[in-house]
């Protein structure tokens, strides 16, 4: 009751899940993002497509059994996509089974005209995405048309993505064919899919920026999460040989070979700029 009075209690949703508390929303979300509308020299080549793998799941079970109402973080998904779109790239949007993309709508920057514009432009694809298995069946032979695979963040990217064999296949396809892989925050959880069936972690020795477990452990105190996370992402990646370059949930971004990563929602704009400029430079 005291937490509720102080605005620290997570909000109970109609499906029994919890979204962040009033205080957590005030501290952790924005009405308008820091997106920079940059006029890039648009890419005109044949490798103009980017596969974007979203989660289709919403509720993440905490250690205490409570469900966190999550999904893909809208800023982490849409800011990088805005930069890549402005740089001349198009998107193939997929989820593991073709169910609609799920967003953390409580984190949507309602007053951001650019985010609203690309969300509305792609809404039909978010509502009816490609099934990832269908992409693998139809597009794996068409490597020459693709520049990158992008896995947005949000705690929801730890739901059904790290455990999905087709996600692992898509990341290995990008890795083996010299395409870029882009991700941020909790999105690098997808990298764990490359280890399924006792396969070697393809990013061993890579530097990457990832959301810190230490911050996830603190956020239940302000009601952002309704409990402790079921497992720690950054520690798991470290145990597999990844070199995590950040210790805070900040604007850190990292480029190592063909891997482009960012630390948190705060890195979304910087990640978009880095991805756009890197792809334009490498593919010209």
Q: What digits encode the pLDDT tens for the residues 158-214?
A: 999 999 999 999 999 999 999 999 999 999 999 999 999 999 999 999 999 999 999
Answer whether residue 159 is part of any domain.
yes
Q: Please identify which of the residues 87, 185, 208, 222 carries the catalytic annotation.
A: 185
How many CA within 13 A on the CB side of residue 149?
Answer: 31
Answer whether residue 4 is part of any domain.
no
Q: How far does the chain reach from its first CA to its final CA, in angstroms?
A: 59
Determine the 3-state secondary structure of 225 from DSSP.
Answer: coil
What residues contact residue 34 under an 8 Å CB cut-off, 6+ apart?
Answer: 269
- pLDDT tens string 47-80: 999 999 999 999 999 999 999 999 999 999 999 9
Answer whether residue 36 is part of any domain.
no
Q: Looking at the chain, which runs of residues are DSSP E strands?
A: 11-12, 18-19, 49-53, 59-61, 67-69, 90-95, 130-131, 146-151, 180-184, 207-208, 243-244, 253-256, 259-262
Mean residue pLDDT across the chain: 96
| Residue 117 banded pLDDT, cuts 50, 70, 90 | very high
Answer whether residue 263 is part of any domain.
yes
> Are residues 96 and 56 in contact, defined by beta-carbon separation less than 8 angstroms?
yes
Answer whether residue 48 is part of any domain.
yes
Answer whether residue 177 is part of any domain.
yes
Whether 254 is catalytic is no
Domain that holds residue 17: 12-28+43-232+245-283
What is the tally of structural domains in the chain? 1
Query: What is the C-alpha to C-alpha distance for residues 277 and 284, in angstroms, rounded to an integer?
Result: 11
**CATH classification of the domain holding 106:** 3.40.50.880
The two tokens of residue 22 are 């009033």
- Angle at CA of residue 277, ends 273 and 281, nearest 5°: 170
What residues contact residue 182 under an 8 Å CB cut-off, 6+ apart?
Answer: 50, 80, 148, 149, 150, 151, 260, 261, 271, 275
Whole-number pLDDT of residue 239:
97
Answer whether residue 115 is part of any domain.
yes
Helix axes 113-127, 74-86, angle to 10 degrees: 100
Whether the pLDDT of residue 6 is over 70: the answer is: no
% of the chain exceeding 70 in pLDDT: 98
Answer whether residue 185 is part of any domain.
yes
Which has the minimum average pLDDT: 1-5, 49-53, 153-157, 260-264? 1-5
Query: What is the C-alpha to C-alpha distance for residues 106 and 212, in angstroms, rounded to an integer?
Result: 22
């Amino acid at each position: 009751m005291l937490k509720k009075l102080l605005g620290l209690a997570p909000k109970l949703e109609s499906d029994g899940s919890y979204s962040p508390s009033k205080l957590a929303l005030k501290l952790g979300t924005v009405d308008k993002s820091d997106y920079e509308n940059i006029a890039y020299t648009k890419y005109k080549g044949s490798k103009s497509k980017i596969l974007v793998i979203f989660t289709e799941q919403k509720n993440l079970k905490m250690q205490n059994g409570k469900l966190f109402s999550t999904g893909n973080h809208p800023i982490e998904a849409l800011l990088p996509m805005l930069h890549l779109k402005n740089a001349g790239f198009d998107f193939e949007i997929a989820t593991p089974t073709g169910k609609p993309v799920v967003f953390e709508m409580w984190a949507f920057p309602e007053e951001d005209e650019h985010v609203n514009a690309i969300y509305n432009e792609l809404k039909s694809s978010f509502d009816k995405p490609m099934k990832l298995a269908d992409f693998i069946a139809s597009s794996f032979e068409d490597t020459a048309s693709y520049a990158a695979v992008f896995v947005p963040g949000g705690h929801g990217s730890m739901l059904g993505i790290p455990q999905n064999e087709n996600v692992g296949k898509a990341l290995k396809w990008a890795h083996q064919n010299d395409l870029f892989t882009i991700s941020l925050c909790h999105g690098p959880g997808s990298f764990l899919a490359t280890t399924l069936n006792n396969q070697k972690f393809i990013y061993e020795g890579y530097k990457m920026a990832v959301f810190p477990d230490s911050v996830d452990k603190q956020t239940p105190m302000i009601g952002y999460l309704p409990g402790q996370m079921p497992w720690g992402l950054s520690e798991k990646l470290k145990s597999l040989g990844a070199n995590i370059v950040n210790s805070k949930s900040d604007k850190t971004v990292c480029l190592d070979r063909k891997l482009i990563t960012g630390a948190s929602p705060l890195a979304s704009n910087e990640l978009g700029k880095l991805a756009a400029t890197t792809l334009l430079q490498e593919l010209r």
